[in-house]
Structure 1
Amino acid sequence: MLLLLLLTLAAVLPGIGSAVAQEPTAPPEPTPTTPADEPASGVPVGGSLNNAGERLPGVTVRALDASGNPVAETTSGEGGRWELTLPPGTYTFEVDTETLPEGVSVQSTVERAVVAGRSNVVIFSFGEARSGTGVDTGEKLLRTVVDGLRFGLIIAIAGVGLSLIFGTTGLTNFAHGELVTLGAVAAWVFNVSFGIQLIPATVLAVLVGIIIGLLNNGLIWAPLRRRHTGLIAQLVVSIGLAIALRYLILIFFSDRTQAFADYQGQRELQWGPLAITPVNLACIVISLVVLVGVALLLQRTRIGKAMRAVADNRDLAASSGIDVERVVRFVWALGGALAALGGVLYGLSELGGRVQWEMGFKLLLLMFAGITLGGLGTAYGALVGCVIVGLVVQLSTLVISPDLKYIGGLLILIVILVIRPQGILGSRARIG
């Protein structure tokens, strides 16, 4: 009987459930959906249309998907600024040539991956495109030499502080590359996050570099010197500090290259066979002015003469009444300022107006090669050596791939250490 009852319930219950489910209910009203009703979501992508300093308003910019179909388009406003909102993905961006002013042409389309959580800037090149086959050998060599001088001066800006620190303290500071990166990152934060124009943002970044240099000395190196820690132990500390700073920058900044908001997509200025962008020309002028200022500081001021005295013989300078620790603090502040400025100039001219989390680490080898070539501890030697390294690195691109050009710096470092370890302007032996 119990088994018969269970079988009866099993047969009846599904019917009850279906009856309940079939009770008439008011179906929901269908809601028509159109693309205009969909919520606007995506990643902002933008840029500025700039033809050799001339802003281009009223120009149509559109984004195409992988199949070549238009996804979105917009028109540039005052100042040439434009912006689109797109889902993450890879797009081809193009300018509608019919909307360009008369006499202005765009060189090519731009393919770019749009990624959430980063600055997505698209840069178009305007003007007549120059083919590589249209430049003769002499013209190409001249341009490469000028580019090498520019690069060497930037290495010198960042490397002079490293050389002065070694000269006054004997420390081989492997964390100096991270001071370069921190200067560039500080300028990017002021420029992009706070909306400050890049020139005053660079001045603020130099002040940040001074503070970082003083904190480095006050919190780490001065206590180690008071404890008479050996130079080898200090070198190891500097390597650990470099690794820690590098990955802190990675954590709090970004693992991707980030662009400055200003001086993007510049057109080359042409003087006969010489062609150079305004940014690169400004970097050369700024580097020369700053390096001449450092030279005058060392030659004509009391603190400069004290720095040279401490670098030559620390104990003799102290016995002559020079406050050695005060001089060392000044050197660290100056080194931090020059490293920060070098980082901004390096990002503007060598990285195409961008900042990267390990840019200083990549430049560190070339700084060491330059100051070793010129003579460790000598500011003028660092200047000469860094310019030579910059020339060799850039000229090497005439015969090898540009991706391998930094190998020249490593070869110079090896050859100089084998043939003339004291460098071009360094002393063979130091007494005291």
Structure 2
Amino acid sequence: MKLRQQPREWRGGRGSPVGASALLVVILGALSFLLAAPAQAVDTLCMPSETTGCIAGTLRTEEGPIADVDLTLTGPTGVEETVTTSESGKWNLSISEEGQYEVAIVTDTLPDDLDTKGAATVQATLGSTAAAVIEVRTSSYSSERSFGEYLAQSAANGIRLGLLLALASVGLSLIYGTTRLASFSHAEQVTLGGMLAYGLVNVAGMNLWLGGALTVALCALTGYLQDRVLWQPLRRRGLGLTQLMIVTIGLSLAMQYCFQYFVGARTVRIVQDNPGVATLGPITMTYQSFVAMGIAVLVLGGVGFALLRTRVGRATRAVADNPALAAASGIDVDKVIRLVWTVAAGLAGLSGIMYALVTNGIKWDSGMQILLLLFAATTLGGLGTAFGALIGSLIIGLVVELAPVFGMPGDFKYATAMLILILLLLVRPQGLLGKAERVG
């Protein structure tokens, strides 16, 4: 009786899991080296030394920096200090004791039409400068801005958010379409993109465009390695979708702990000079936001063209429709799935870069915070349909940003997006562009 030969993927040599794992370890090692370097604050008077450390940041919105705002800094012993932002929105404080510090805005000093999500926690050490990022947002329209202008601004912000979500949700939808796997770790690829860009651009001093391109390439490589080392062997061993989904949850938690280990709980920002602001009618956004939206439109257009007009795109759609029939017609299903994982991870990394630039920072749990929005977008548009994910992302982005305009307080705007999803699924369970399937 002949013994069955081991699958090639489990043998040593080129293309083996050993080699791929070694490459992954090298990438994580390089990331830890970059992120371990202290990020120096820009234009601050605080100079770290062996006996002192610094905590600094910049307070700004889309319209520009916010001056004359008071912030309180509470140390590990409970001692509280107060600092006021300068004309450029910058602030800094020196500390003499290492530990976790809480930075909070004194809300009474904020302009009437602004509010903040809450305090920021930063891990400060002697001899370095720790950056603290606190999100400030428009709370309601004021006498200086009419309801129509506020509505237009919020709609523009919603389209921007929807485009950034679409970059990640399109990849998530393609993964589901070709493998029927709902990947809970996909949102962590967004965080990975922002973290890698921070390490390459802010810490290593690389040019933003070059660092961004390298970040997308590295994120795409992680997608390739994931399928090569993990998902393809598990598929060949016959694991069910439930078991694979549990593995994605475990991978998501592992990546979050890695981010915490390398970066900590603080929010990191791809530090650039204060970006310029452009105004188009009632809409005011930074140049970074307009560039990010333009890049998203071009990339999503390229993905759509590839799916509709290229052989690889047609093969991808064939695998999504019927993998067995696609394999019988000569399509290498494993190669198509690996390409989908690679492209999806690259798109998520690109989304993470622009998310970190546009929202003024990214931290270890940013992916977890947008995970429900990604699943809502893919489900709303129709599971497994890339174009449905795009439409669903735009709807979710608009709902999230427009909810406060109509009186929805704080983070309840995310609940509004979930409510709309539930109502639509009650009427159309397959989503907007999904196909109805017979069950039973």
Same fold (TM over 0.5): yes
Which position in structure 2 is the counterpart of 1:191? 201
Partner of 1:345: 354
Contact 1:188 1:355 in 2 (8 A): no
Runs of 4 or more off by more than 4 Å in structure 1? 45-50, 63-70, 80-86, 88-93, 111-115, 121-124
Q: 1:144 aligns with which of 132, 154, 163?
A: 154
Is the Cα contact below 8 Å between 2:192 and 2:349 reproduced in 1?
Answer: yes
Measure, in 2, the Cα distance between the counterparts of 1:173 and 1:90.
34
Alignment partner for residue 418 of structure 2, among 410, 425, 429?
410
Structure 2 residue identity aligned to 1:270: T
Counterpart in the other structure of 1:245: 255
CA distance in structure 2 between the aligned counterparts of 1:115 and 1:203, rounded to whole angstroms: 30
C-alpha distance in 1 between matches for 2:434 and 2:104: 54
Q: Check whether the contact 1:43–1:87 (CA below 8 A) recurs between aligned residues.
A: yes
Match among 397, 409, 415 for residue 390 of structure 1: 397
Q: Greater CA deviation, 387-396 or 296-305?
A: 296-305
Q: Give me the whole-angstrom Cα distance separating, in 1, the residues matched to 2:176 and 2:93.
A: 50
Q: Which letter does structure 2 place at the counterpart of 1:181? A: T
Amino acid at match of 1:164: L
Instruction: Quickly say closer, same or farther: Cα 1:91–1:257, change in 2 above 3 A.
Output: closer
Secondary structure at the residue paired with 1:310? Answer: helix
RMSD in angstroms over aligned alpha carbons? Answer: 3.8
CA deviation vs aligned residue, 1:15-55 (integer Å, no higher than 9, x gap): xxxxxxxxxxxxxxxxxxxxxxxx873114567999x9x9x
- What is the rounded CA distance, in whole Å, between the counterparts of 1:229 and 1:140 in structure 2? 51
Q: In structure 2, list runs of 5 or more residues that go unmatched.
A: 1-48, 65-70, 74-79, 106-118, 135-139
Q: Which amino acid aligns with 2:378?
A: I
Match of 2:172 in 1: 162
Unpaired stretches in structure 1, ≥5 consecutive residues: 1-38, 55-62, 94-110, 125-129
Indicate the SS of the match to 2:279: strand
Q: Within the alignment, does 1:254 sit opposite 2:264 as a pair? A: yes
User: Deviation at 1:83?
Assistant: 8.5
Alignment match, 2:220 = 210
Counterpart residue type for residue 260 of structure 1: I
Alpha-carbon distance between aligned partners in 2 of 1:156 and 1:259, rounded to the nearest angstrom? 22
Question: 1:269 deviation in Å?
Answer: 1.6
- Deviation per residue, 1:388-412 (Å, 9 max, x gap): 1100111112121233221123223
CA distance in 2, matches of 1:196, 1:83: 25
Aligned to 2:38: none
**Structure 1, residues 345-373: CA drift from partner, whole Å, max 9, x if none?**
112213x2x12101011111001101111
CA distance in 2, matches of 1:403, 1:92: 18
- Structure 1 position 376, deviation (Å): 0.5
The answer to whether 1:358 aligns with 2:365 is: yes
Q: Which residue of 2 aligns with 1:313?
A: 322
Aligned mates of 2:147, 2:335 — CA distance in 1: 52
1:370 maps to what in 2? Answer: 377
What SS does the corresponding residue of 1:120 show, helix, strand or coil?
strand
* 1:226–1:394 distance in 2 versus 1, CA, 3 Å: same
Counterpart of 1:252 in 2: which secondary structure?
helix
Separation of aligned partners in 1, 2:83 and 2:383? 59
Q: CA shift at 1:419, angstroms?
A: 2.5
Partner of 2:182: 172
Larger Rg: 1
- Call closer, same or farther: CA 1:373–1:113 in 2, change over 3 Å: closer
Are 1:143 and 1:274, in contact at CA under 8 Å, matched by a contact in 2?
yes
Secondary structure at the counterpart of residue 130 of structure 2: coil
Partner of 1:96: none
Structure 2 CA distance for aligned equivalents of residues 69 and 158 of structure 1: 38
Aligned to 2:429: 421
Contact 2:120–2:266 (CA<8 Å) still a contact in 1?
Answer: no
SS in 2 for 1:406: helix
Cα-to-partner distance string for 1:257-287 (whole Å, 9 max, x where unaligned) = 1222225x43532222221111211111111
